[in-house]
Amino acid sequence: MSVQPSTTTTAATGDFANRLLDWYDREARTLPWRVPPGSRAVPDPYRVWLAEIMLQQTTVAAVTGYFTGFTALWPTLADLAAADDADVMAAWAGLGYYARARNLLACARAVVADHGGHFPDDEAGLRALPGIGDYTAAAVAAIAFGRPAVVVDANIERVVARHRRIEVPLPAAKRAIRAALAPFVPAARPGDFAQALMDLGARICTPRAPDCAHCPIADDCRVRGTSDAVRLPVKPPRKAKPHRHGVAHWIRSDDNVWLERRAPRAMLGGMRALPGSEWTDAPPRESAIAEVRHSFTHFDLTLKLVARESPDAAAEGEWWPIAELDAAGLPTLYRKLVDRMRESDG
């Protein structure tokens, strides 16, 4: 036996990956976009990519129905690339972070135009596409193409920060987390390894109540069963959210209501919406026929609905049947207002 550190490191890292993969073989979640461990099926890069974009900052429960809907409407990358913007934005409505949907289309079209309709099969090529950052490039490279990429999402940050007891606060800790994880990535099953860590973070090494008793990598975990497990990773303090106010216009003609499309780079950009004022710090004086409160990531909003006779002369938009507003693809903020109107109108 060699006495070189690399030899012992290899044994230890191999054992770590094997314990994790054995657990994953038994406990993997069944998900619509996932090829089960042990399956002979080959992952479809389109489905892997689509799921990864949808899952950014979004729960599995929220994504599942949207993933099913998108793959039914657009079964292949070419189908999505050829879709109308309005249809894709409407199908995304309610999922949030709408820049993802705009970039989704831009990415699909770039792959068709610049890559012959096939995703690049390495991190660098993927990373250059719209909406694909460090995480998604690594995840698609590992899961769809079997590349030994170091995949680090919020689950994996938590698992590794605890397992190695990394005290550096996020996001600075990311570098140390990557460095700690890199030696453990197995060449044979890098995609399953990444998904195993994510499942572990979602089911065992959870933020508030880690279940160390059932953790497959607890043996060499530096915080196993201690209060440090709940304390880590260290996160920066949160800032207070401001409160803003706005007015939306309810412009009705017979059984239709006037909708406009929001500017591409604005909040809720590219989405159909009720027209209205800019959102400001001061509440409006107009008298409202309805009102909703909505909480965004970085501010809270009170939006008043005010009746108007007709759209602005220069406004571009469309009359939409009120009975069919569910199909308009409104962001949740506006869907709340619309629902309020339907309750009161009967």
Partner DNA sequence: TAGACGTGGGT
Partner DNA sequence: TACCCAAGTCT
Judged by CB, which is closer to DNA: 77, or 205? 205
Q: Which residues pair with 80 in a beta bridge?
A: none
Binding status of residue 61 toward DNA by CB under 7 A: yes
Choose one: 13-21, 64-72, 235-243, 337-345; the region binding DNA (CB under 7 A).
235-243
Q: Say how many CA atoms lie within 13 Å of 168 toward its Cβ.
A: 12
Judged by CB, which is closer to DNA: 164, or 262? 262
SS3 217: coil
Judged by CB, which is closer to DNA: 15, or 115? 115
Q: Are 168 and 199 in contact (CB under 8 A)?
A: no
- Between CA 137 and CA 124 the distance in angstroms is 7
Candidate residues 60, 176, 212, 341; the one interacting with DNA per rule CB under 7 A? 60
Choose one: 25-33, 176-184, 248-256, 282-290; the region binding DNA (CB under 7 A).
25-33
- Write the burial class of residue 38 (CB in 10 Å: 0-12 exposed, 13-18 middle, 19+ buried): exposed
Q: Which residues, other chains included, contact 72 with Cβ-Cβ below 8 Å and sequence gap of 6+?
A: none
Q: Which two tokens stand for residue 230?
A: 């709940």
Binding status of residue 99 toward DNA by CB under 7 A: yes
Binding status of residue 201 toward DNA by CB under 7 A: yes
Q: Which two tokens stand for residue 129?
A: 């596409």
Report which residue type is found at 27: E
Sign of the alpha-carbon dihedral angle for 123, 126, 132, 133: positive
* Least distance between DNA and beta carbon 297 (Å): 4
Count of residues touching DNA (by CB under 7 A)? 59
**Which of 52, 123, 157, 260 does the annotation list as catalytic?**
52
Binding status of residue 62 toward DNA by CB under 7 A: yes
Choose one: 38-46, 68-76, 179-187, 327-335; the region binding DNA (CB under 7 A).
327-335
* Least distance between DNA and beta carbon 147 (Å): 15
- Between CA 138 and CA 132 the distance in angstroms is 9
Binding status of residue 64 toward DNA by CB under 7 A: no
Binding status of residue 249 toward DNA by CB under 7 A: no
* Least distance between DNA and beta carbon 118 (Å): 19
Binding status of residue 68 toward DNA by CB under 7 A: no
Backbone phi, then psi, for 240, in 5-degree steps? -70, 145
Binding status of residue 195 toward DNA by CB under 7 A: yes
Choose one: 36-44, 66-74, 128-136, 282-290; the region binding DNA (CB under 7 A).
128-136
Q: Say how many CA atoms lie within 13 Å of 268 toward its Cβ.
A: 21
Q: Which residues pair with 307 in a beta bridge?
A: 250
Binding status of residue 71 toward DNA by CB under 7 A: no
Choose one: 15-23, 185-193, 202-210, 306-314; the region binding DNA (CB under 7 A).
202-210
Candidate residues 21, 52, 161, 292; the one interacting with DNA per rule CB under 7 A? 52
Residue-wise over 44-73: b if at least 16 C-beta within 10 A, else e? bbbbbbbbbbbbeeeebeebeebbeebbee
Binding status of residue 137 toward DNA by CB under 7 A: yes
Q: Are 130 and 107 in contact (CB under 8 A)?
A: yes
Asked if 52 is an active-site residue, the reply is: yes
Give catalytic residues, as residue numbers: 52
Residues that bind DNA (CB under 7 A): 29, 31, 33-34, 51-52, 55-62, 93-99, 103, 130-137, 139, 153-155, 158, 172, 195, 198-199, 201-202, 207-209, 235, 238-239, 266-269, 294-298, 331-333
